A and B are shown apart, each in its own frame.
Chain A
């Protein structure tokens, strides 16, 4: 395997890339499910809530699996880091799991339990989605702060928690713009307009805080020539936000041809922000403490996984595309027959 150079060098990098890819896919895909759950609170009528659930029903399970994959890669490729990160984030992880449990089971129970209990499962669906988003945002904040617990870092993490809620609500609203029509679609456009500002606040907060807490990151961004290579990231984000704001003002359009644009733009914005973040932290997997090279599992084990993933990942992506194609178009009532 020396054919590609030293596997101890490129294997950890490849796995860090795979992990980053699955986190990004997770944030966009489960982000829209969780966002729809968060927007549930303002849905108004039961009929609209049913429609919202129908828009994500066939997808949420597969979307959530990207989280399992991301944690799985952390677990299998960087076993030591996995323990360090997850024990440092013990409580937010537990809260996130409770949130994921509540939201996942509420899907099914709200449709099958006696009608008079439906409201309780609706509350669980909203509460679970909100709790999941909050705890993931909190973990992001703590990670940026180097996994140190103090009042200062926790306050920052609370800020990122709120911003991630806005971010998920934004991408969820963009999804509903594609999948719904009429009043629900118009309401989703308004929600997306509001939530966009939360996204902007979040990206701004993270961009300001990251260089401040870490001189290393400051150095990586603001030195020559790096700064010229990196300039597209912030500029790109600003352009995307402006374009999104303009598009949202013109939606829904009469023929509904452009309803997919906000979701595409939102995805691009998330990807840009994520790339910036990934650049800041590379090569660390535990910020300031452990690099991907120090944390990596033995090369023989990683190779086994890599060979498998090269076959399996394209298959996964293609049958995911199949599922999205089968359920394309406006969300209709979900039926088992």
Chain B
């Protein structure tokens, strides 16, 4: 394998590992703030218990996010020097603002948020929690501005093969930025909601009857059910916007070869790029025209429009984009089904069952446990659709991926790639097992029959803290 393909795999592996953790921390910061504010408002220990449990999850996730992020910032130089040489004048300021307005904010206030509870006044602790959440969101904003600009570049001109900024407003608010930012923030909220619901369901199934776990479960289910319809709507708008700016990507997502009206919506197929057709296709007639043009006779672009005269395809590889899209949407539908079921059960058994575990029932709880990391699956699938769908371009119409790659020996890339993959696999396994270990430990130390009606006094609270709470 050559350095290009290895560098691509390496970049893909690094960013895939990195994004697992930001997707959680971005929204978890806000949810922690919510727990904290609910506690401030009601004084119920249950909210503080929820805070204490998930702040541990947050600390661990944040550490993984930071260290994998540092790898990312070196990647540009080690593997993609062409990127900064050609578009550095635009990427540079965006990355600089991310570091200055986001990274320092979150990193400095994280210390106060995690360990400052007894050292600073309550309002400062709440403010620190807010600033950390705000920092992670700002960081998402800046990096998504850059990423969206790479998909739909605007506000620049080329001089001697180097991009120069002409209009920063157009660069920041480039055509796909609002959609991508919204879709990603919602993805983060959903990932978090299912993580919270999954870990809480795991504790409920183990007989944990503490107030905190019930409050967390309820929050997880409601947030999930509230966000998923918005996400589907945002995804639909995102797709329409992509159709306008990157039609070849949408054609690959839909698995549509020929341009025309009454294009069917392909539910499943095995696309064959060599023969330029789909095998084993299951589809809804005129569906794609309806979804993309809101009219059964709408004309939808097909992949055959994007082939050079000599037959080389100018569109992205079809199969990964096609399947990735179905994995994302499929996961989204599963999220919709389960979270709505959860809310339905919570409302219907509200009177008859005082406790969350009985209200939801064994099988739905198990389904939530199974879906704990479903957000990761959908998010990764979504990013693969987006990024592979941009190929062969690195910056659409400006710079190809092949022109940006570093001239380092393939063996060197391969050896570091193996190193990274080993570490990433180990850490991902360690991360998941530690989360469930923390959940098990918390449910073991919670008293099995605490009554939800009687709020525990503050003095009794510390006994709920297992030994390992201190760092």
Residues of A within 8 A of B (CB): 50, 53-54, 57-59, 61-62, 64-65, 67-69, 71-77, 79-80, 82-87, 90-91, 93-94, 97-98, 100-102, 104-105, 107-109, 111-115, 297-298, 300-301, 304-305, 308-309, 312-313, 316, 319-320, 322-323, 326-327, 333-337
Q: B261-269, B292-300, B359-367, B406-414: which one contacts chain A?
A: B406-414
Cβ contact within 8 Å between B81 and A84: yes
B70, B90, B423 — most chain A CB neighbours (10 Å): B70
Measured between alpha carbons, how far is A94 from B412 in the docked complex, in Å?
10
Minimal Cβ-Cβ distance residue in A for B404: A83
B60, B164, B168, B438 — most chain A CB neighbours (10 Å): B60
Nearest Cβ on chain A to B91's Cβ, whole angstroms: 8
Query: Given A91-B416, A101-B71, A337-B465, A304–B471 Cβ distance below 8 Å?
Result: no
Nearest Cβ on chain A to B286's Cβ, whole angstroms: 48
Measured between alpha carbons, how far is A114 from B119 in the docked complex, in Å?
28
Contact of B92 among A57, A107, A305, A312 (CB under 8 A): A305
Cβ contact within 8 Å between A97 and B93: no
Cβ contact within 8 Å between A61 and B408: no
Query: B419 to chain A: which residues have CB within 8 Å?
Result: 94, 98
Nearest Cβ on chain A to B236's Cβ, whole angstroms: 35
Nearest Cβ on chain A to B39's Cβ, whole angstroms: 12
Measured between alpha carbons, how far is A93 from B111 in the docked complex, in Å?
27
Query: A75 to chain B: which residues have CB within 8 Å?
Result: 73, 76-77, 84, 88, 92, 95
Measured between alpha carbons, how far is A111 from B118 in the docked complex, in Å?
19
Q: Mark B371-388, 1 if CB is under 8 A from A, else 0.
A: 000000000000000000
Is B114 engaged at the interface, CB distance under 8 Å to the other chain? yes
Cβ contact within 8 Å between A98 and B434: no
Nearest Cβ on chain A to B384's Cβ, whole angstroms: 23
Query: Given A319-B109, A337-B117, A64–B66 Cβ distance below 8 Å?
Result: yes
Contact of A62 among B111, B116, B427, B471 (CB under 8 A): B111
- A to B CB contacts below 8 Å, 23 in the list: A50-B471, A62-B107, A64-B70, A65-B104, A72-B96, A73-B96, A75-B77, A87-B407, A93-B78, A94-B416, A94-B419, A98-B420, A104-B64, A109-B434, A111-B470, A111-B471, A112-B434, A112-B437, A297-B88, A305-B93, A319-B109, A336-B114, A336-B470
Query: Given A109-B434, A301-B90, A308-B97, A90–B73 Cβ distance below 8 Å?
Result: no
A77, A86, A301 — most chain B CB neighbours (10 Å): A301
Minimal Cβ-Cβ distance residue in B for A311: B100
Contact of B89 among A300, A333, A337 (CB under 8 A): A300
Number of B interface residues in the complex (CB < 8 A): 75
Minimal Cβ-Cβ distance residue in A for B63: A108
Q: Mark B102-113, 1 if CB is under 8 A from A, else 0.
A: 011101111110
Cβ contact within 8 Å between A105 and B67: yes
Query: B82 to chain A: which residues have CB within 8 Å?
Result: 83
Contact of B67 among A101, A115, A333, A337 (CB under 8 A): A101
Minimal Cβ-Cβ distance residue in B for A309: B100
Query: B67 to chain A: which residues have CB within 8 Å?
Result: 100-101, 104-105
- Per CB-CB distance, the 6 closest pairs between chain A and chain B, nearest first, are A83-B81, A76-B92, A86-B77, A58-B111, A334-B471, A79-B88
Contact of A326 among B66, B110, B120, B408 (CB under 8 A): B120
Nearest Cβ on chain B to A37's Cβ, whole angstroms: 14
Query: B84 to chain A: which residues have CB within 8 Å?
Result: 75, 79-80, 82-83
Query: Given A62-B104, A337-B118, A93–B74 Cβ distance below 8 Å?
Result: yes
Contact of B406 among A57, A83, A112, A316 (CB under 8 A): A83
Q: Mark B386-420, 1 if CB is under 8 A from A, else 0.
A: 00000000000000000000111000100010011
Query: A65 to chain B: which residues have CB within 8 Å?
Result: 99, 103-104, 107
Contact of A90 among B59, B78, B93 (CB under 8 A): B78
B window 445-471: CB within 8 A of A: 462, 465, 468-471
Is B115 engaged at the interface, CB distance under 8 Å to the other chain? yes
Measured between alpha carbons, how far is A120 from B115 in the docked complex, in Å?
24
Is B101 engaged at the interface, CB distance under 8 Å to the other chain? yes
Nearest Cβ on chain A to B9's Cβ, whole angstroms: 15
Cβ contact within 8 Å between B103 and A68: yes
Nearest Cβ on chain A to B241's Cβ, whole angstroms: 27
Main secondary structure on B side of the interface with A: helix
Is B238 engaged at the interface, CB distance under 8 Å to the other chain? no
Apart from A69-B100, A90-B412, A334-B114: 12 A-B pairs, beta carbons within 8 A: A57-B115, A61-B62, A72-B73, A72-B96, A82-B77, A87-B77, A94-B78, A101-B70, A101-B423, A108-B63, A297-B88, A335-B471
Is B243 engaged at the interface, CB distance under 8 Å to the other chain? no
Nearest Cβ on chain B to A191's Cβ, whole angstroms: 23
Query: A50 to chain B: which residues have CB within 8 Å?
Result: 471
Nearest Cβ on chain B to A176's Cβ, whole angstroms: 17
Query: A74 to chain B: which residues have CB within 8 Å?
Result: 77
Is B355 engaged at the interface, CB distance under 8 Å to the other chain? no
Nearest Cβ on chain B to A201's Cβ, whole angstroms: 29
Minimal Cβ-Cβ distance residue in A for B82: A83
Is B222 engaged at the interface, CB distance under 8 Å to the other chain? no
B window 7-63: CB within 8 A of A: 48, 52, 55-56, 59-60, 62-63
Nearest Cβ on chain A to B383's Cβ, whole angstroms: 21
Query: Given A72-B73, A83-B406, A87-B408, A297–B89 Cβ distance below 8 Å?
Result: yes
Query: B68 to chain A: which residues have CB within 8 Å?
Result: 101
Nearest Cβ on chain B to A142's Cβ, whole angstroms: 14
Cβ contact within 8 Å between B71 and A97: yes
Query: Given A62-B107, A72-B96, A326-B119, A336–B52 Cβ distance below 8 Å?
Result: yes
Cβ contact within 8 Å between A112 and B60: yes
Measured between alpha carbons, how far is A303 from B100 in the docked complex, in Å?
15
Is B165 engaged at the interface, CB distance under 8 Å to the other chain? yes
Query: A313 to chain B: which residues have CB within 8 Å?
Result: 100
Is B430 engaged at the interface, CB distance under 8 Å to the other chain? yes
Minimal Cβ-Cβ distance residue in B for A312: B100
Is B85 engaged at the interface, CB distance under 8 Å to the other chain? yes
Query: A82 to chain B: which residues have CB within 8 Å?
Result: 76-77, 81, 84
Cβ contact within 8 Å between A301 and B93: yes
